[in-house]
Amino acid sequence: MLGSMTSNVTLNELGEFLKKRRSELSPRTVGLPETGGPRRVAGLRREEVAQLASISTDYYTRLEQGRMQASAPVLDTIARVLHLDDDERGYLFQLAGKTTTRTRRHGRQKVQPQLQRVLDDLTATPAIVQGRRGDILAWNAPAAALVTDFSRIPERHRNYPRLIFTDPAMRNLYADWEGSARIAVAQVRMEAAKYPEDPRLIELVGELSTRDKQFARWWGDHKVAARTVGTKTLNHPVVGELVLDWDTLTANTDPDQHLTVWTAAPGSPTHERLRILASWAADQNMSPSSSLR
């Protein structure tokens, strides 16, 4: 019974994802002629997607309605037709593969010892370790100085997406707060495909959807993103503007743990400001997570 419920939820999510993606495409985008007449729905019609994917309209309709599973080749073709990027394609396949996956229960995550040692050695470079759901498992003093003093946040609420939406200081810190918040939502959506029955993830999404209308709206967009690399501009209250490259490394011993590091090119103004920030953090006795064990 539980397996059937999980299958239905996941297939419904897959259908909603497909509907959202096709609504964002125009016939011109996929090489179909414009009819010129009014269209009852935004984007492509189901029959147009089916035509481009060389499958029957009935087959595709049942897929969107969550009434059937699709084979990997069909999913691959649909991903190409809908112009899905790598993250979106991976998300589509995760959803399709979850229909027969048994429920997994996870205990409390602890930072991997080798990742903790890396954090301890990074004395001038901000870095954190995130686990499932974006939970913050560990950090170093420069990261506490850069973002916030994580030690003052109750462990249950020590979650990066939650901080972005509930801590007013984060809206001032990120020059493009909306862009960063959208990425955070997309990353949580990717996590939901991997662990659709994680009670803490369900709780997180429910809380943020209730507290923040923007989160609820962006969650409904079904955008997905993996933790990879990027560049962000921060307006830090102590050292001013920081243009930081961020990179994410995944632990082989636990693929659900990710080390995120913020860096800047040597000789750049941001690189010098990071050095100043590290010195300021030492003066302020900012606490790395290793001192709390």
Domain assignments of the chain as residue spans, ordered by start? 1-96, 113-284
The token pair that represents 158 in the structure block: 């020590």
Question: What is the rounded CA–CA span in Å between residue 70 and residue 63?
Answer: 7
Neighbours of 177 (CB within 10 A): 16
- Chunked into runs of 10 residues, the chain (293 residues) has average pLDDT values of 51 89 82 64 84 90 88 87 87 71 57 88 93 94 94 93 96 96 94 86 92 94 88 96 94 87 96 93 79 51
Spatial neighbors of 185 by CB under 8 A, at least 6 apart, are 161, 215, 218, 219, 223
Q: For residue 287, what is the DSSP state?
A: P
Question: What is the rounded CA–CA span in Å between residue 279 and residue 256?
Answer: 32
pLDDT the model gives residue 173? 97
Closest C-alpha to 132, from 180, 195, 212, 72: 195
Task: Record the pTM.
Answer: 0.74
Report helix, strand or coil for 123: coil
Cβ contact 158:136 at 8 Å: yes
Question: What is the rounded CA–CA span in Å between residue 50 and residue 57?
Answer: 5
Torsion of CA 141, 143, 144, 148, to 10 degrees: 170
Span 113-284 CATH architecture: 2-Layer Sandwich (3.30)
1-96 belongs to which CATH class?
A: mainly alpha
